[in-house]
């Protein structure tokens, strides 16, 4: 029975079916299964499958987004039980606030990164496009995030990525949040120049950067940034 419930949970994520994800999560609670185990052996396995399919060109952005939504629904149902077990922190890799910076209305790059982060075990809060620097920080504070991620496709919006760091420093919060930057014109050199904590060339790289940051245990803003950038120079 336990295996069947975990299988149902896995399938609900793979099928991007929020209703089934909620039902399977409720079944987890009714059957007295550890919510952490349900997430790790059920829902997360489903996310792995979606992530692998995306990398192989067999699943696409809508599936990533909807699977992330289904995962969020699972967390919502299991949240109380997880807290009771004292395992909330073990269930997710970290909370990420992600957005496209001021003056930029492009969203697809940010959406891909956000969706991939969600299917890789991060709790993601997408704060949209054309976001002011201070809003990134305020949202991160409000939501208790550990990582701030900013995206832009425009060279003329890149200065706003620097403004986020500046705001963090000026408000005395630079050591509270890891800050990663990405987008079409963003380079390793730029990430280093503005003293970001990380940068990835592709969306998959961004996820890897966030994983390494979340597991690093280092104080934000105090170490050499983690850069995954393949352009040879």
Partner 1 sequence: MSLRTEKILRSLDRAYTGPICTVKDWDTKVIPQTIRAKLKKYGLEKTCDMENPINCDDDLADQFYKAGYELALEIGMLNVDTERIIKIQEDELLDTLRHKPREITLGSGNDSVVLKYRRPEDPTPPLLAASLGIVVSEELYVPIVSGIVKYRELVDVLHGPSLSTVYGRKIRSGTPYETLMGRYETELRREALWRADRPGMAHTGVAGAVTQYGHLGGAASIGGPGNVTMALCPVELKTNFSVFHRIMMAINYGMRIRAGGFSYIGGYAGPPEGAALANVAVDLLIATILDSDYTSSYVYDIQLLGNCGRKALWANSVAIQAISRNTYLIRNKIVNETGGPCTDMFMYEAAVGLMNHCVSGASKTTQPRSAGGKFTDHLTPMECWWCGEVFKSCAGMTRKQANEIAKQVLPKYEEQLKNPPKGKSVLDCFDLQEMRPSPEYQQLYLDIRKELMDLGMPLDKVYNNVALAR
Size of interface with partner 1, in residues (CB under 8 A): 35
Contact between 30 and partner 1 per CB under 8 A: no
Interaction of residue 90 with partner 1, rule CB under 8 A: no
Q: Where are the beta strands (DSSP E) in 90-229?
A: 94-100, 122-126, 147-151, 178-182, 198-200, 226-228
Nearer to partner 1, 76 or 128 (CB): 128
The answer to whether 79 contacts partner 1 (rule: CB under 8 A) is no
Handedness of CA 176, 178, 182, 186 (dihedral sign): positive
Q: Is 108 in the site for partner 1 (CB under 8 A)?
A: yes
Q: Which residue has the tokens 């500046």?
A: 166
When asked if residue 54 is in the footprint of partner 1 (CB under 8 A), the reply is yes
Q: Which is nearer to partner 1, 17 or 37 (CB)?
A: 17
Overall residue count recorded for the chain in this entry: 233
The SS3 assignment for 53 reads: helix
Q: Which residues, other chains included, contact 189 with Cβ-Cβ below 8 Å and sequence gap of 6+?
A: none
Please report, as residue ranges, which positions from 162 to 221 form the binding site for partner 1 (by CB under 8 A).
Answer: 184-187, 201-203
Q: Which stretch binds partner 1 (CB under 8 A): 25-33, 70-78, 88-96, 150-158?
A: 150-158
CA-CA distance, 66 to 22, in Å (whole number)? 14
Binding site for partner 1 (CB under 8 A): 54-55, 57, 60-62, 65-66, 102-108, 111-112, 130, 154-157, 159-160, 184-187, 201-203, 230-233
């Amino acid at each position: 029975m336990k295996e069947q419930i975990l299988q149902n949970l896995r399938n609900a994520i793979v099928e991007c079916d929020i209703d089934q994800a909620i039902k399977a999560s409720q079944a987890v609670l009714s059957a007295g299964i550890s919510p952490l185990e349900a997430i790790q052996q059920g829902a997360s396995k489903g996310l792995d499958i979606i992530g692998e399919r995306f990398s192989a060109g067999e699943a696409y952005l809508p599936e990533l987004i909807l699977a992330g939504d289904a995962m969020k629904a699972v967390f919502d149902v299991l949240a109380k039980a997880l807290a009771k077990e004292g395992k909330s922190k073990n269930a997710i890799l970290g909370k990420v606030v992600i957005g496209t910076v001021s003056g930029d209305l492009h969203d697809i790059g940010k959406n891909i990164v956000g969706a991939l982060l969600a299917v890789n075990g991060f709790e993601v809060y997408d704060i949209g496009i054309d976001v002011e620097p201070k809003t990134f920080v305020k949202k991160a504070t409000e939501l208790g995030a550990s990582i701030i991620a900013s995206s832009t496709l425009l060279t003329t919006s890149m200065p706003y990525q620097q403004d986020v760091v500046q705001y963090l420093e000026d408000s005395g919060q630079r050591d509270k949040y890891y800050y990663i930057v990405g987008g079409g014109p963003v380079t390793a050199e730029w990430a280093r120049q503005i003293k970001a904590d990380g940068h990835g060339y592709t969306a998959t790289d961004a996820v890897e950067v966030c994983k390494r940051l979340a597991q690093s245990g280092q104080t934000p803003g105090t170490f050499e940034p983690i850069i995954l950038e393949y352009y040879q120079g």
